[in-house]
Protein backbone atom coordinates (compact mmCIF):
# COMPACT_ATOMS: atom_id res chain seq x y z
CA UNK A 1 0.00 0.00 0.00
CA UNK A 2 1.30 3.45 -0.94
CA UNK A 3 0.06 6.97 -0.37
CA UNK A 4 0.86 9.15 -3.37
CA UNK A 5 -0.42 12.24 -5.14
CA UNK A 6 -2.90 11.47 -7.93
CA UNK A 7 -0.47 12.13 -10.79
CA UNK A 8 2.01 9.58 -9.39
CA UNK A 9 -0.77 7.04 -8.84
CA UNK A 10 -1.84 7.40 -12.47
CA UNK A 11 1.74 6.88 -13.66
CA UNK A 12 2.13 3.74 -11.56
CA UNK A 13 -1.16 2.31 -12.82
CA UNK A 14 -0.18 2.95 -16.44
CA UNK A 15 3.25 1.38 -15.85
CA UNK A 16 1.61 -1.65 -14.15
CA UNK A 17 3.64 -0.99 -10.99
CA UNK A 18 0.42 -1.20 -8.98
CA UNK A 19 -2.79 -3.11 -9.68
CA UNK A 20 -5.36 -0.88 -8.01
CA UNK A 21 -5.56 2.66 -6.76
CA UNK A 22 -8.07 4.33 -4.46
CA UNK A 23 -7.97 8.05 -5.07
CA UNK A 24 -9.63 10.97 -3.34
CA UNK A 25 -9.31 13.21 -6.36
CA UNK A 26 -9.94 12.75 -10.05
CA UNK A 27 -7.46 10.76 -12.08
CA UNK A 28 -8.26 11.54 -15.66
CA UNK A 29 -6.15 9.50 -17.98
CA UNK A 30 -6.75 7.24 -20.93
CA UNK A 31 -6.52 3.52 -20.36
CA UNK A 32 -8.00 3.37 -16.87
CA UNK A 33 -11.24 1.91 -15.59
CA UNK A 34 -12.82 3.37 -12.49
CA UNK A 35 -15.61 2.75 -9.99
CA UNK A 36 -16.90 5.34 -7.55
CA UNK A 37 -16.79 4.02 -4.00
CA UNK A 38 -17.95 6.95 -1.85
CA UNK A 39 -19.00 10.57 -2.15
CA UNK A 40 -19.02 12.43 1.16
CA UNK A 41 -18.92 15.88 2.69
CA UNK A 42 -15.64 17.31 3.92
CA UNK A 43 -15.86 19.18 7.20
CA UNK A 44 -13.86 21.73 9.14
CA UNK A 45 -11.97 20.36 12.13
CA UNK A 46 -11.04 22.74 14.94
CA UNK A 47 -9.77 22.27 18.50
CA UNK A 48 -12.60 21.87 21.01
CA UNK A 49 -11.76 25.23 22.58
CA UNK A 50 -11.67 27.08 19.22
CA UNK A 51 -14.12 30.03 18.88
CA UNK A 52 -15.98 28.20 16.08
CA UNK A 53 -16.24 24.88 17.95
CA UNK A 54 -19.80 25.46 19.18
CA UNK A 55 -21.20 26.46 15.80
CA UNK A 56 -23.58 24.15 13.93
CA UNK A 57 -22.10 25.06 10.54
CA UNK A 58 -19.56 27.42 8.99
CA UNK A 59 -19.80 29.38 5.77
CA UNK A 60 -16.97 29.50 3.27
CA UNK A 61 -16.31 33.14 4.19
CA UNK A 62 -15.72 32.04 7.82
CA UNK A 63 -12.66 30.11 6.60
CA UNK A 64 -10.89 33.14 5.10
CA UNK A 65 -8.89 34.32 8.14
CA UNK A 66 -8.20 30.89 9.64
CA UNK A 67 -4.72 29.32 9.88
CA UNK A 68 -4.79 25.96 8.09
CA UNK A 69 -2.89 22.76 8.66
CA UNK A 70 -3.05 20.69 5.49
CA UNK A 71 -1.22 18.36 3.16
CA UNK A 72 1.34 19.46 0.61
CA UNK A 73 0.25 20.33 -2.95
CA UNK A 74 -0.86 17.29 -4.93
CA UNK A 75 -2.92 15.70 -2.16
CA UNK A 76 -6.72 15.76 -2.23
CA UNK A 77 -7.26 17.87 0.89
CA UNK A 78 -4.80 20.53 -0.29
CA UNK A 79 -6.36 20.58 -3.74
CA UNK A 80 -9.81 21.02 -2.17
CA UNK A 81 -8.59 23.77 0.16
CA UNK A 82 -6.96 25.64 -2.72
CA UNK A 83 -10.14 25.25 -4.81
CA UNK A 84 -12.37 26.56 -2.02
CA UNK A 85 -10.13 29.58 -1.51
CA UNK A 86 -10.09 30.32 -5.24
CA UNK A 87 -13.79 31.11 -4.89
CA UNK A 88 -12.88 33.50 -2.04
CA UNK A 89 -10.37 35.26 -4.29
CA UNK A 90 -7.20 34.65 -2.30
CA UNK A 91 -5.00 31.76 -1.15
CA UNK A 92 -5.52 30.02 2.19
CA UNK A 93 -3.34 30.94 5.15
CA UNK A 94 -1.35 27.73 5.52
CA UNK A 95 0.81 27.50 8.61
CA UNK A 96 1.83 23.84 8.44
CA UNK A 97 1.93 21.09 5.81
CA UNK A 98 2.09 17.35 6.48
CA UNK A 99 1.44 14.24 4.43
CA UNK A 100 0.20 12.33 7.48
CA UNK A 101 -3.51 12.83 8.14
CA UNK A 102 -3.06 11.64 11.73
CA UNK A 103 -0.38 14.29 12.32
CA UNK A 104 -2.65 16.95 10.81
CA UNK A 105 -5.47 15.91 13.16
CA UNK A 106 -3.11 15.96 16.18
CA UNK A 107 -1.88 19.46 15.31
CA UNK A 108 -5.45 20.71 14.86
CA UNK A 109 -6.43 19.15 18.21
CA UNK A 110 -3.55 20.95 19.91
CA UNK A 111 -4.97 24.27 18.71
CA UNK A 112 -2.22 25.13 16.23
CA UNK A 113 -4.68 25.65 13.38
CA UNK A 114 -7.72 24.23 11.61
CA UNK A 115 -8.12 21.78 8.74
CA UNK A 116 -10.44 19.89 6.45
CA UNK A 117 -11.34 16.27 7.20
CA UNK A 118 -13.63 13.89 5.33
CA UNK A 119 -16.82 12.72 7.01
CA UNK A 120 -15.38 9.23 7.33
CA UNK A 121 -12.62 10.78 9.47
CA UNK A 122 -15.08 11.64 12.23
CA UNK A 123 -14.26 8.35 13.96
CA UNK A 124 -10.68 9.52 14.35
CA UNK A 125 -11.85 12.98 15.35
CA UNK A 126 -13.96 11.47 18.15
CA UNK A 127 -10.76 10.14 19.77
CA UNK A 128 -9.05 13.54 19.58
CA UNK A 129 -9.89 16.90 21.14
CA UNK A 130 -11.57 18.07 17.94
CA UNK A 131 -14.87 19.65 17.00
CA UNK A 132 -16.06 18.90 13.47
CA UNK A 133 -18.30 21.36 11.64
CA UNK A 134 -20.12 21.10 8.31
CA UNK A 135 -19.00 23.67 5.75
CA UNK A 136 -21.85 25.37 3.92
CA UNK A 137 -20.32 24.98 0.44
CA UNK A 138 -21.49 22.49 -2.18
CA UNK A 139 -17.90 22.01 -3.40
CA UNK A 140 -16.68 20.91 0.03
CA UNK A 141 -16.84 17.19 -0.80
CA UNK A 142 -14.57 14.25 -1.48
CA UNK A 143 -15.14 11.32 -3.80
CA UNK A 144 -13.26 8.05 -3.35
CA UNK A 145 -12.74 6.25 -6.64
CA UNK A 146 -11.12 2.91 -7.40
CA UNK A 147 -8.96 2.90 -10.53
CA UNK A 148 -7.23 0.10 -12.46
CA UNK A 149 -5.59 -0.26 -15.82
CA UNK A 150 -7.70 -1.43 -18.77
CA UNK A 151 -4.76 -3.44 -20.08
CA UNK A 152 -3.66 -5.06 -16.82
CA UNK A 153 -4.50 -8.64 -15.99
CA UNK A 154 -5.36 -8.52 -12.30
CA UNK A 155 -3.91 -11.18 -10.03
CA UNK A 156 -6.34 -13.26 -7.93
CA UNK A 157 -5.43 -11.11 -4.91
CA UNK A 158 -6.07 -7.86 -6.81
CA UNK A 159 -9.34 -9.29 -8.18
CA UNK A 160 -10.45 -10.12 -4.63
CA UNK A 161 -9.44 -6.67 -3.39
CA UNK A 162 -11.34 -5.06 -6.28
CA UNK A 163 -14.48 -7.06 -5.48
CA UNK A 164 -14.17 -6.24 -1.77
CA UNK A 165 -13.73 -2.51 -2.35
CA UNK A 166 -16.55 -2.25 -4.90
CA UNK A 167 -18.89 -4.36 -2.74
CA UNK A 168 -18.07 -2.66 0.57
CA UNK A 169 -21.01 -0.77 2.17
CA UNK A 170 -19.13 2.55 2.25
CA UNK A 171 -22.13 4.71 3.18
CA UNK A 172 -23.08 2.49 6.12
CA UNK A 173 -19.45 2.20 7.27
CA UNK A 174 -19.41 5.89 8.18
Answer whether 155's CB lies under 8 Å from 20's CB.
no
d(CA 171, CA 120): 9
d(CA 92, CA 90): 7
In the three-class reduction of DSSP (H, G, I as helix; E, B as strand; rest coil), residue 31 is classed as coil
- At 94, phi and psi to the nearest 5? -95, 125
The whole-number pLDDT of residue 129 equals: 85
The whole-number pLDDT of residue 9 equals: 86
Mean pLDDT in consecutive groups of 10 residues from the start of the chain, 174 residues: 78 90 83 91 95 96 96 89 94 93 90 91 70 94 92 91 91 64
What are the DSSP E strand ranges found in 7-54?
Answer: 20-23, 32-47
Reported residue count of the chain is 174
Cα distance between the two ends of the chain: 22
Distance of alpha carbon 57 from its chain centroid, rounded? 19
- At 100, phi and psi to the nearest 5? -100, 115
The whole-number pLDDT of residue 1 equals: 67
Give the number of other CB atoms < 10 A from CB of residue 70: 24
d(CA 18, CA 109): 35
d(CA 19, CA 24): 17
The whole-number pLDDT of residue 39 equals: 92
The whole-number pLDDT of residue 123 equals: 65
Amino acid sequence: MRQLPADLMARQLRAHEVDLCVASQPIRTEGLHSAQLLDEPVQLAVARDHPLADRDCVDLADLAPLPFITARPGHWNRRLLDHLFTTLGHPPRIICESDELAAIADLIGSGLGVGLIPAVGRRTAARLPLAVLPVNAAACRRTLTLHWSESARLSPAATLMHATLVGWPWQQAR
